[in-house]
Amino acid sequence: MMKNLLRVGLVFALALTAYGCGGEETNEDADAGVKVDAGKKDAGTGCQTVMCNGECCLDGMVCDPNLNMCSFPSTCTPQCVGKYCGDPDGCGGKCHACPSGQTC
């Protein structure tokens, strides 16, 4: 009785091992994605425009790094005449770069 039980256990363990070691499917072309794709198209996707934060932007949209999402390009023209480093440009940005070693 004990020998039969041992044989059944070994056969069962061997069957589980053989079943568990089947061929693995891998998809080397899969894109795990990143938080921000820097506006580049992802390989292997059907996106014909710009990828942004894992989503395909609509035609005419860009990946806005400040919003971290697709948006239409801004039509605002910065107004920096007579303004100094760090002053608002009227478009949500800042005027002029700071000289080396200085903080605005």
pLDDT in tens, 65-79: 878 889 888 778 788
Q: By the 8 A CB rule, do 98 and 104 touch?
A: yes
* Domain-embedded: residue 38: yes
Supply the pLDDT for residue 103: 66
Tell whether 83 and 53 lie within a shared domain: no
* Domain-embedded: residue 59: yes
* Domain-embedded: residue 45: yes
The structural domain count of the chain equals 2
Arithmetic mean of pLDDT, 61-90:
83
Choice between 13 and 46, residue whose per-residue pLDDT is larger = 46
Tell whether 44 and 68 lie within a shared domain: yes
Q: Determine the distance from the C-alpha atom of residue 87 to the mean position of all C-alpha atoms in its chain, rounded to a whole number.
A: 32
Q: By the 8 A CB rule, do 36 and 53 touch?
A: yes
- For residue 94, the enclosing domain spans 76-104
Tell whether 96 and 80 lie within a shared domain: yes
Tell whether 38 and 59 lie within a shared domain: yes
* Domain-embedded: residue 52: yes
